[in-house]
Amino acid sequence: MSSLSMQPLPPLEGNPKTGSATNSRRPSRSSTSKPDPLSSIAHASASRIGPGAHPTGHPASFASELSPEENAKRLAAYAAVDEHVKDYHKVLGIGSGSTVPYVVERLCQEPHCNANSDRWYVPTGFQSKELIVKAGLNLGDVDQFPNIDVTIDGADEVDDDLNAIKGGGACQLREKVLAEAATNFILVADSRKDSKVLGTNWKQGVPIEVAPFAWAKVFQNLQKMGCEKPVLRMGKMKAGPVVTDNGNFVIDAVFTESYMRDPSELLHRIKMLTGVLEVGIFAGMALAAYFGYPDGTVAVRWQDGRRNKIAAPSASDTSAIV
């Protein structure tokens, strides 16, 4: 994961105890009225939605400063938003990782920003919640919006059939719920994630979210399935394992190529292990995947096998989208 997604973010405004975000510009209700079920949600303020909002934290002139890899992520994200988000879409799912900030960035630009005042954004975890709140967008949750128009998310690797490995950021449980809830689930990534068979470039294994007390049993069962060396993912700058946004552990499990050639079967076998909450194999879920290339082009692969390429924007186009 790039440092972009790992930048420490300032705390949310709002109730410091609950961590709930509030927008001070929202009209206040009288104290006699019923509690507002949406009071913990950051409401968009027209003045905060628009080209000025930069969820990535970059100033407006950052385009020329991006590395080719970062620019590739940005182009993929922009192309996906431009092709799949329509003004009439009122609920969007926002994924996790270092590519997704560019999705939010695009959504805060003309013409997309014009639809933001009555659109709800559902995050896949802490990071995307912060992106949504900091951009001044309406924050929702999947229990309010079990049907999402479009979810756009990153990927660790995508195979020829658009099966994906996700969970490099340990968000796969919420990511899968939002992928399933979406009418259209779209992946965005740089070209390094584009592969024929899962496990070719992503060597870390399949991320598996497990109930903490069950991790050793799942570990043992993964070994019985043929995973030689499952790894309990450990925290960085923290003693002990990574704890997900849902309070669980993650095991990364490498499987042989023959397993990886049938990701659907592998997903179902792992999911059946007691103690497993979700598996970072997204089989047959994505409608399309957008891969940005360092030369400025974007390759698009579709669920039905179609492929197309979006040409690199000209210098004038690039300045227009910043």
Ligand X SMILES: O=C(CO)[C@H](O)[C@H](O)COP(=O)(O)O
User: Which residues are known catalytic residues?
Assistant: 175
Q: Which two tokens stand for residue 193?
A: 């994630």
Choose, by CB under 6 A, the member of 14, 93, 95, 292 that binds ligand X.
95
Query: Per rule CB under 6 A, is residue 278 in the interface with ligand X?
Result: no
Position 119 contacts ligand X (CB under 6 A): no
Among 171, 208, 273, 283, binds ligand X (CB under 6 A): 171
**Which of 235, 227, 233, 277 shows the shortest CA–CA distance to 255?**
227
Order of strands across the sheet with 249-253?
Answer: 231-232, 249-253, 206-210, 276-279
Segment interacting with ligand X, rule: CB under 6 A, options 7-15, 80-88, 163-171, 245-253: 163-171
Cβ-based neighbours of 293, under 8 Å, separated by 6 or more:
72, 75, 190, 191, 299
245-274 binders of ligand X (CB under 6 A): none
Quick check: 170 binds ligand X (CB under 6 A)? yes
d(CA 206, CA 210): 12
What is the rounded distance in angstroms from the CA atom of residue 281 to the CA atom of residue 265?
10
Span near ligand X by CB under 6 A; candidates 49-57, 108-116, 151-159, 265-273: 151-159
The answer to the question of residue 167 lying near ligand X (CB under 6 A) is yes
Q: Which residue is nearest to ligand X (CB)?
A: 97
Q: Which is nearer to ligand X, 23 or 163 (by Cβ)?
A: 163
What lies within 8 Å, CB to CB, of 172 at 6+ separation is 166, 207, 209, 278, 279, 280
Q: Is 151 in the site for ligand X (CB under 6 A)?
A: no
Our finding on whether 85 is near ligand X (CB under 6 A) is: no
For residue 89, what are the CA distances in angstroms to 115, 117, 157, 293? Answer: 8, 12, 27, 28
- Does residue 292 touch ligand X according to CB under 6 A? no
Residues of this chain, 4-33, that bind ligand X according to CB under 6 A: 5
**Residue 243 is a binding residue for ligand X (CB under 6 A):** no
CA atoms of 4 and 274, how far apart (whole Å): 35
166 forms part of the interface with ligand X (CB under 6 A): yes
Asked whether position 172 contacts ligand X by CB under 6 A, the answer is yes
* Nearer to ligand X among residue 55 and residue 154 (C-beta): 154
At 315, phi and psi to the nearest 5? Answer: -55, -40
Judged by beta carbon, residue 70 or residue 149, the one nearer ligand X is 70
Q: Pick the closer one to ligand X by CB: 52 or 57.
A: 57
Judged by CB under 6 A, the residue of 97, 123, 199, 205 near ligand X is: 97
Phi, psi of 165 (to 5 degrees): -100, 130
Provide the 3-class DSSP secondary structure of residue 139: strand
For 219, the 3-state DSSP assignment is: helix
Binding mask 27-66 for ligand X (x = CB under 6 A): ----------------------------------------
> Which CB, 149 or 175, lies closer to ligand X?
175
For the chain, strand residue ranges (E) read 91-94, 120-123, 138-139, 148-153, 157-158, 164-165, 182-190, 206-210, 231-232, 249-253, 276-279, 281-282, 288-292, 298-302, 307-310
205 belongs to the binding site for ligand X (CB under 6 A)? no
Residue selected from 23, 56, 96, 109 as contacting ligand X according to rule CB under 6 A:
96
How many residues belong to the site for ligand X (CB under 6 A)?
Answer: 20
Binding residues vs ligand X (CB under 6 A): 1-2, 5, 95-99, 153-156, 166-172, 175
